[in-house]
Amino acid sequence: MPPLPGAELIQTSVQLYRYLLRCCRQLPSAAMQQHYRHAIRQSYNSHSDEKDPERILLMINRAVADADWILEKFFCPGDLKKCL
């Protein structure tokens, strides 16, 4: 289950960037939000020159899965099987 609706519609790096920033707003503390916003911004800047569509799609899928894992980690303490 993706953390926010619309994850399946992401096709470009800019859409992914905006989606991940919206996911950050769901984190419980301002420090966590700032940390992940910074990490997203750094990753976006380092991969902004990527042109291979297959590689971009792999990065999109991985980033959405990672965002889902991070949000589940904060909102489903203990056994993750209970949250799924």
Where does the pLDDT of residue 5 fall: very low under 50, low under 70, confident under 90, or very high at 90 and above? Answer: confident
Question: Which of the two residues, 7 and 24, has the higher pLDDT score?
Answer: 24
Question: Which of the two residues, 4 and 60, has the higher pLDDT score?
Answer: 60
- What is the amino acid identity at position 22? R
Tens-digit pLDDT profile for residues 42-72: 999 998 888 999 999 999 999 999 999 988 8
What is the residue extent of each domain of the chain?
Answer: 8-75
Tokens (6 digits) for 49: 């020159």
pTM, entire model? 0.80
